[in-house]
A and B are shown apart, each in its own frame.
Chain A
Amino acid sequence: MAYYQGVLTIICVNLMCVMGVSLLTGFTGIFSFGHAAYMAIGAYTSAIVVGRLGMPFVIGLIAAAAAAALASFVIGYPTLKLVGDYFAIAALGFGEATRLILDNGGDITGGARGFVGVPKHTTLSIALLIVALGVVLMRNILNSRFGRSFVAIREDRLAAEAMGIDTSRFRMMALAISAAYAGVGGSMFAHYLTYLQPVMFDLNKSTEMAATVVFGGLGSLTGSVVACVLLTTIPEVFRPFYLWRMVFYGLALVSTIVLRPQGLLGTYELTFERLKKVVSACPLKARFDRRGGGLTGGPESGGGRSCRY
């Protein structure tokens, strides 16, 4: 039982991080291979604030989000001017640098030996609560003018600029929100494991987050969530075949890229309106109110909506 709870909690941790990357990569079109760094910053900040300073867990979560967002400003301000692959590489460098700083942090971070004695606060119910809140907030942001601006930037940055969108500011905003999500994920992680080591937040972790978002479908929050649940579960399911489990993980990724380049769900989103439609399609409830969705809803809209719900 504790094992399943543990897996579910880790899924929640990963979900927070992946949702952040989804906003940045899937919706704003900025690739980052350094997001483990924001997770690490959140984890260590929370560990210090709660573990050393004795603050409550809630303060730890907020501090983690704030610290990660702050770090994203420091790194994003000079590097977000870079476009395409160059930002991804800069982010990768930032990720590795952060890990090495934590490695050499002496007594503050515990160095390579790790940070021990983080108080245990992340129970499954708390983790689920945070994730639920995270999903709702993210969905709301994506369905607002902010979300539309992010997607417009992904689609065509120059045209977005010509339509009055301050693309530099919105790119920074996307990075900051995404870092804050990863920071919260890190904090949850720290208070679940009660123990931190810089090596947990290496390039593999960053790549895993980016891969999950691509796997689920760029521009689909639902896709990111589904992919995260699958990709966290697959290695656990294949745990008995210890040496083979990363092979299955890789196989799942490669087959998606070959068979479904748009990702598992493409840009499809599961929405309340769609759920309602399924319900109203049932014979008993045939007269259920069939209202169209939001901006992209309506009778003519087929599948694969882009940023609404």
Chain B
Amino acid sequence: MPVLELSKVTKRFGGLTAVSEFDLRLEEGELVGLIGPNGAGKTTVFNLITGMYAPTSGTIRFLGEDIHGKKPHQIARRGIARTFQNLRLFRNLTALENVAVARQMECRYSFVEAALRTGRFRAEEKRVREESLELLHLVGLGGKAYEKARNLPYGYQRKLEIARALALRPEVLLLDEPAAGMNPEESLSLMEFIQDIQERFGVTIFLIEHHMEVVMGICSRILVLNFGCTIAEGTPEEIQANPEVIKAYLGEVQE
């Protein structure tokens, strides 16, 4: 059974078809890339999967269950976590708190217990704190736990956003242009980081990337989107050789 399955998902905004009959099957433990030129509808696909948009038609199944009509927070709790193209950290919270906000989803203490600081409250808070710290250490941000997110260097902010998404302990991790704004060298090291995370956490990753080169090295499979339609799908080698893809990226050759 695929972890995530989209079939014939279409999203229209008025007269504009942002995504058209999009199909996707993510098997457990895969690392799949979604590439395409600006405005191809890549982020829209993410917004559809995470429930931020409702599809105009088509079905989205997560672990065999139709998640149509579920709210973003419900989908997040079910196990689909995401990052954003333009960083959306809780800027005035520390790195630790950023992660804790996601990690606390499994907290079991009630409002009254919180107000009275009962034993269970203390134990649960301690657990959240320890697990969050551990996660920060795992992604190499251990030394930055008490820094405010907005004061972190850009590359660390990118990593923190990934750590925050991982704190939800997701089945599927959606990364929206994780290497945006990075130079080729930084992008490469980030891709290694992502690969490392995938191995360590055993999470299925679906990532958007604008630059083709960076995904080529780590993705087992790549989908290419242009004007809302999937124009190619295959291994990095197949994609690189695909004339449709070259056309979409470089324009048509004048005969």
Q: Interface on A for B, CB 8 Å cutoff?
A: 137, 140-141, 144-146, 148-149, 151-152, 155-156, 158-167, 219, 267, 294-301, 304-308
Cβ of B89 < 8 Å from any Cβ of A?
yes
Does the CB pair A141–B146 fall under 8 Å? no
Task: Give the shortest distance, in Å, between A152 (CB) and chain B (any CB).
Answer: 5
Can you give 9 contacting A-B residue pairs, CB < 8 Å?
A148-B104, A156-B91, A158-B88, A161-B73, A162-B88, A163-B101, A167-B73, A294-B125, A301-B94
Q: Interface on B for A, CB 8 Å cutoff?
A: 50, 52, 71-73, 76-77, 81-82, 84, 88-94, 96-97, 100-102, 104-105, 107, 109, 111, 114-117, 121, 125, 128-129, 145-148, 164, 168
Does the CB pair B77–A156 fall under 8 Å? no
Nearest to B124 among chain A residues (CB) is A145
Chain B residues with CB below 8 A from A149, complex form: 101, 104
Does the CB pair A307–B71 fall under 8 Å? no
A146 to B105, CA, bound (A): 11
Q: Known pairs A163-B101, A300-B146. 16 more at Cβ < 8 A?
A: A140-B114, A141-B111, A145-B109, A151-B97, A155-B93, A156-B90, A158-B52, A159-B88, A163-B81, A163-B102, A164-B76, A167-B73, A294-B125, A296-B146, A306-B92, A307-B93
Does the CB pair B73–A165 fall under 8 Å? yes
6 closest Cβ contacts across the A-B interface? A144-B114, A155-B90, A159-B88, A164-B76, A145-B104, A301-B146
Chain A residues with CB below 8 A from B90, complex form: 151-152, 155-156, 159-160
A16 to B148, CA, bound (A): 30
Choice from A146, A151, A163, A296 contacting B111 with Cβ under 8 Å: A146
Task: Give the shortest distance, in Å, between A144 (CB) and chain B (any CB).
Answer: 4
What total of A-B pairs shows CB separation below 8 Å?
120
Chain A residues with CB below 8 A from B164, complex form: 163
A170 to B103, CA, bound (A): 17
Chain B residues with CB below 8 A from A301, complex form: 94, 146
Task: Give the shortest distance, in Å, between A244 (CB) and chain B (any CB).
Answer: 38
A301 to B92, CA, bound (A): 13
A165 to B73, CA, bound (A): 5
Task: Give the shortest distance, in Å, between A131 (CB) and chain B (any CB).
Answer: 16
Does the CB pair A295–B88 fall under 8 Å? no
Nearest to B50 among chain A residues (CB) is A162
Chain A residues with CB below 8 A from B100, complex form: 148, 295
Chain A residues with CB below 8 A from B92, complex form: 151, 155, 219, 267, 306
Chain A residues with CB below 8 A from B82, complex form: 162
Does the CB pair B146–A308 fall under 8 Å? no
Task: Give the shortest distance, in Å, between A239 (CB) and chain B (any CB).
Answer: 38
Task: Give the shortest distance, in Å, between A30 (CB) and chain B (any CB).
Answer: 16
Take A144-B109, A144-B114, A267-B92 as given contacts and tell me if A298 and B145 are in contact as well, using a CB distance cutoff of 8 Å.
yes
Choice from A140, A164, A165, A299 contacting B117 with Cβ under 8 Å: A140
Task: Give the shortest distance, in Å, between B144 (CB) and chain A (any CB).
Answer: 8
Chain B residues with CB below 8 A from A306, complex form: 92-94, 97, 148
Take A306-B93, A306-B97 as given contacts and tell me if A164 and B84 are in contact as well, using a CB distance cutoff of 8 Å.
no
